[in-house]
Amino acid sequence: MQNKLFAKDGEAEFSGKGGDQNKDNAAAFARFQSALRSKVGEAKYKSWFLDLGLAERGDRSVTFSTGSQAKCDMLDNRYLPVLTAVWSNAVAPVDKVRLTVRKNLLKSSAKVGAIETGAAKNPFRTASITEISAPLDPRRTFDTYAVGHSNQIAWAAARQALDAEKPRDIVYFYGPSGSGKTHLGQAVGHEWRAKFENSDVAYITYRNLINACVNAVLSGDTQRFHEMLLGYDLIILDDIHFLEGKERTQEELLVVIDAALDRGKQVVIAGDLPPAKLAEAGIKKRLTDRLAGGLCVPIHEADETLRLEILKKRVRRSAAHCLIEDDVLEFIARTFTQSTRETIGALNQLFLMYGGEEKTVTLDEAKAILKSRMEDRKKIVTIDDAIAAGAEAFGLTLADITGRAQPQRIARARHAVVFCAREVLKESFPRIGKALKRDHTTVMSSYRRAQALLERDKVFQAAVARIREALED
């Protein structure tokens, strides 16, 4: 039996009847909050978990809600094992923990706010900077950033952005997902705040930028949108490649970049692709020219040496009581190679299991704890698995998917494979293109077609669901 709730920030509020059940769930969530606060510490709790709500509770499952998609994604990627363990220990064992965004609550709150302020006559408004700017992760600093051959040029560019004696220009970091672009951009933000005490920093995700721009255009208030952003001395924009196809947002961003540079502001941008490839993928040439004309530097995938250094930095700065031997760190760096996120995730799993114990974690113990992660990795992380699942879902062969034929059924199968490889496996467009024997611009177009088909085609929806199920089981 599942109980659905309307979740407020930091609360569990039951809908409908059943007062005793309401109280039980409220009490359970209160125990969970207290245990979570003790587990992660006060500072981290306030930064990442303060708005967490209880959205749904079943016999062996629980769903938490949070106020933004960015926060939801971050918790899902980094803290799902922690949430699962804390709920299981503090409340009751669970097999499945999910995270969702409080869309309905946010919409209803906005509606109430509009009525109370008399703004209901114009439902569109320019978002405030507190709504556009996301918080900087306190862990993503220069001190925690490991430097190696793959990122040393980007590191130098990041440090130059902080040099008050140098002329201000765009700094553009590009590289595959999980290579450390976001970390380096946020490190600039932290260092800027420390070095220039009276300066302000805005860290903006592509999603927040698009939403704010749409609202500004619909409200006829783009000038205020520009000036609001230009009030900040450092503007950091993440994942610019996701602006492909968003022409008006790109235009407004160009206006802000040009004005920011004219006023001596600093702009730092991160994306998956170099400027020339961004232009092929649908980003305006004028915008890619701006990126190419600044400090445009690549970040490559970390090699084993850099992955090991990243792990050592994490261990040195960890508050865990356990000691992890070097051969364990070397094993993790050698085994979990898809991205630095995967490497760090394996280390975090050891911290979760042994962090509270005064003991030395041996290689055999680490292998035992990470066994399921290694098995899951082999089972779900390859694009080839997505291609095989797509062929089965559409009744095709592997050669059909990777071949040159263009009948509708085969083309749609490719769209589904691209979508699932991107959304489930978190693969980059160039890597997906390589597996499908196509260039990344074709793959990005295929991804957009899949998004459109998912909105209107139930047969396509069902096929995508089957592929996702095959990859996630």
Q: Which of 272, 298, 324 is the last residue of a domain?
A: 298
Confirm whether 331 is domain-assigned. Answer: yes
Nearest C-alpha neighbor of 444 from the set 284, 273, 232: 273
Residue 192 lies in a domain: yes
**End-to-end CA separation in angstroms for the chain:** 23
Same domain, 290 and 324: no
Domain for residue 106, yes or no? Answer: no
**Are 316 and 363 in the same domain?**
yes
Q: Where a domain ends, among 68, 101, 134? A: 101
76: domain range?
Answer: 24-101
The predicted model scores a pTM of 0.55
Q: Which of 298, 322, 352 is the last residue of a domain?
A: 298
| E strand residue ranges, 49-144 | 53-57, 61-66, 96-101
- Is the domain of 277 the same as that of 315? no
Same domain membership, residue 276 and residue 158: yes
Please calculate the CA angle 278-207-137 and round it to the nearest 5 degrees.
100
**What does the longest C-alpha to C-alpha distance in the chain come to?**
65
Residues 435 and 419 both lie in one domain: yes
**Kind plus residue range of the DSSP H or E element containing 295:** strand 295-298
Residue 137 lies in a domain: no
Task: Give whole-number Cα distances, 375 to 40, 60, 367, 370, in Å.
Answer: 28, 24, 11, 9
Residues 292 and 261 in one domain: yes
75 lies in some domain: yes
What are the residues facing 6 on neighbouring strands? 13
Do residue 160 and residue 284 come from a single domain?
A: yes
Strand partners, 375: none
pLDDT at 377: 60
Residues 334 and 294 in one domain: no
In a domain, residue 119? The reply is no
| Local confidence pLDDT in tens for the 473 residues of the chain | 455 444 444 544 444 445 566 678 888 898 999 999 888 888 778 767 888 888 888 888 899 988 776 677 778 777 888 899 999 999 999 988 988 887 543 343 333 333 233 333 344 445 555 568 889 999 899 999 999 989 999 999 999 999 988 888 899 999 988 889 999 999 999 999 999 988 889 999 998 999 889 888 888 888 888 988 998 999 999 999 999 888 999 999 999 999 999 889 999 999 999 999 999 888 999 999 999 999 999 999 888 899 999 999 999 888 888 999 899 999 999 888 878 888 999 999 999 999 999 999 999 999 999 988 887 665 555 898 899 999 989 999 998 999 988 899 999 999 999 999 999 888 888 889 999 999 888 999 999 999 999 999 999 999 999 998 888 76
Residue 364 belongs to a domain? yes
Query: According to the model, what pLDDT value does residue 371 have?
Result: 87
Q: Are residues 264 and 398 in the same domain?
A: no
Please give the Cα distance from 412 to 395 (Å, whole number): 12
What does the pLDDT read at residue 278? 92
Q: What is the CATH number of the domain that holds 346?
A: 1.10.8
CATH of the domain at 179: 3.40.50.300
CATH code where residue 434 lies? 1.10.1750.10
Count of domains observed in the chain? 4
CATH of the domain at 86: 3.30.300.180
| Whether residues 283 and 387 fall in one domain | no
The reply to whether 308 and 294 lie within a common domain is no
**Do 159 and 211 lie in a common domain?**
yes
Domain assignment present for 460: yes
Instruction: For residue 306, give Cα distances in angstroms to 188, 300, 339.
Output: 20, 11, 11
